[in-house]
Amino acid sequence: MVINLKSFFAVIFIFFTGLFLFQQNSLNAQTEKEDDPRTWKYFKIFARAQDDSVFIKLQNELNIDPKLESYVFIANIMDPSLINQYVVIGDETSPDASRFLWSDLSADVQKALLNWVGSNKENLNKKKLNFTSVFFDVFKKIKVKEVIAPPARERDILSTTAYISPYFQIFGGDPLGIPIKKSVGFDFQLGTPYSGPMETDIIGTSFHILGFKVGVTSRIQELVFGSLPDTDVTTSPDNLAYYNNLFAPDLGLAFSYVLPFGNFFEIGFFTTLDTGNFYPKPVKVVNESTGQFMPNNIIRGNYTNFEFRYPFRAFGSTRSKIYFAQSFGEKHIGFAGRELRFAGSQFDFRVDATLSGKRNFQILVEPLISSIGEGFALSSFAIGPSFRFGRKPDNNFGLMTVLVNMRLKIGDFFEERGDR
Q: What is the SS3 string spanning 247-276?
A: ECCCEEEEEEEECCCCCCEEEEEEEEEECC
10-residue mean pLDDT profile of the chain (420 residues): values are 55 56 43 83 88 90 86 91 90 84 94 89 74 57 67 77 92 94 93 96 96 95 78 77 93 95 92 78 87 93 96 86 97 95 84 94 95 66 95 94 93 50
In this prediction, residue 61 carries a pLDDT of 93
Contact 75, 43 (CB under 8 A): yes
CA nearest 167: which of 159, 158, 176?
A: 176
Let me know: does 68 contact 412? Beta carbons within 8 Å. yes
Residues 6+ apart with CB under 8 A from 150: 312, 313
Q: In whole angstroms, what is the distance from residue 60 CA to residue 305 CA?
A: 45
Of 357, 239, 353, give the one whose Cα is nearest residue 295.
357
DSSP secondary structure of 302-365: EEEEEEEEEEEEETT-SEEEEEEEEETTEEEEEEEEEEEEETTEEEEEEEEEE-SSSS--EEEE
Per-residue pLDDT at 40: 92
What does the alpha-carbon distance between residue 337 and residue 320 come to, in Å, rounded to a whole number?
Answer: 4
Residues contacting residue 374 through CB under 8 Å, at least 6 positions apart = 72, 90, 91, 94
Give the domain ranges of the chain: 38-127, 154-409
Q: Three-class SS of residue 397?
A: strand
- 8 A C-beta contact, residue 336 and residue 342: no
Torsion, Cα 288 330 384 310, to 10 degrees, reads -150
What is the pTM assigned to this prediction?
0.75
Cα of 31 vs its chain's centroid, Å: 35
* pLDDT given for residue 23 in this prediction: 44
Q: pLDDT value at position 28?
A: 41
Pairing mode of beta strands 184-190, 176-181: antiparallel
Task: Tell me what pLDDT residue 22 has.
Answer: 46
Q: For residue 127, what pLDDT is reported?
A: 64
